Amino acid sequence: MNGNLKKSVICGIIANMLVLANFPANSQEFHPGEVWSDTDGKPINAHGGGILFRKGVYYWYGEFKTGKTYLPDCNKSWGGTRVDTVGVSCYSSTNLADWKNEGIVLSAVTDDPQSDLHKSKVLERPKVIYNKVTKQFVMWMHIDSTSYAAACSGVAVSDTPTGPFKYLGSFRPDAGVWPENVTDTDKDPAKSNPLARDFKDGQMARDMTVFVDDDGKAYQFYSSEENPTMHVSLLTDDYLRPAGKYNRIFIGRSMEAPAVFKHAGKYYLIASGCTAWAPNAARSAVAYNILGPWTELGNPCDGADADTTFHSQSTFVLPVQGRSDTFIFMADRWKQWDLPDSRYVWLPLEFNENGKLVLRWHDHWSLNTRPMIGQTVGVPTQL
């Protein structure tokens, strides 16, 4: 083992030991749906977010929502309320319970209405991944016009996890490229075919997430073609653009809010239906190849309010470092008419004996009392 590799392995072991050390026997409990305050005593403000783990620290990025909730005229047909965009917030933690506010790491623009980041525009579902080759932290996000007609992806970079991030611009992914699983019918330039309509200028991209595989390859999942179909797209080695290889998945299923993770060599996805701010039954799926084919597994939620995903919508699935096969389902409980008061729903994610995902409601729970994978779901087992 060469010196650099040995040093990297040792650092990784130490980082995981530090994480484990910060999960005491009586670990602080999670209380899904309740107000969650940061270390300054203020409500955590990181909606539609995701988490990056780096050198023993978790970084939670999300939409910072504040101010008055209003309904633009262009969105009245579907109830698309919003608040003026402020930017992307970041919080840090070593134990997933106590979160320090690191501030706004990508700020909105107030003096240029043409800017993607102007307060009147849409910035949603920011996700940050780390590129080991370029040593950059790369943020992907959904960038849109107030009416959601632009349907673009935005990218920003930083040399540190707490920013500030430099915005590089927006685009529609995969311009001039057909998906790997395209058919002749898909290429029909009929007005009712958004895939062919948008071939030249790039595909529509709304709700999205990004995922880094074990081999360092990164992928973007995004709702496309006016939202009925999702795309999964390989990114370039620097994670800054699409690499020109993608597939259409969940064709005609109208899925958004994707959250992707990997377990036991298989890829899993949890998403929602498209019902604006109203919660709906979650969807889940599995694949042996990240580009597909994907097989749907049904609604992972079980028990009361399963048909509304416990009144929430997926945003991320977090693998807990130092805890083998431990995953946390992260979701938002949106408040349509008071968006800044939207809450967070974090629940333990399990697998049943048939290998399907299972989510059950817990008024409170901790990492030390979650059921173990392979155990009967719903029966707490001390780790």
Q: Band of the pLDDT at 22, cuts 50, 70, 90?
A: very low
Q: Burial letters for 308-337: b for 16+ Cβ neighbours within 10 Å, e otherwise?
A: bbbbbbbbbbbbbbbbeebbbbbbbbbeee
Higher pLDDT, 189 or 382: 189
Is 61 in contact with 49 (CB distance < 8 Å)? yes
In this prediction, residue 370 carries a pLDDT of 58
Q: Which of 95, 97, 115 lies closest to 106, judged by CA?
A: 115
Tell me the pLDDT tens digit for each residue of 111-137: 999 999 999 999 999 999 999 999 999
Q: Band of the pLDDT at 324, cuts 50, 70, 90?
A: confident
Strands 47-54 and 166-171: unpaired
Q: Rounded distance, CA 170 to CA 124, Å? A: 13
Q: How far is CA 185 from CA 148, 165, 178, 245, 253, in A?
A: 27, 42, 12, 19, 18
Q: Rounded distance, CA 234 to CA 290, Å? A: 10
Chain Cα centroid distance, residue 111 = 29
Q: Rounded distance, CA 163 to CA 45, Å? A: 17
Residue for token pair 């795309």? 231
Tell me the pLDDT tens digit for each residue of 133-150: 999 999 999 999 999 999
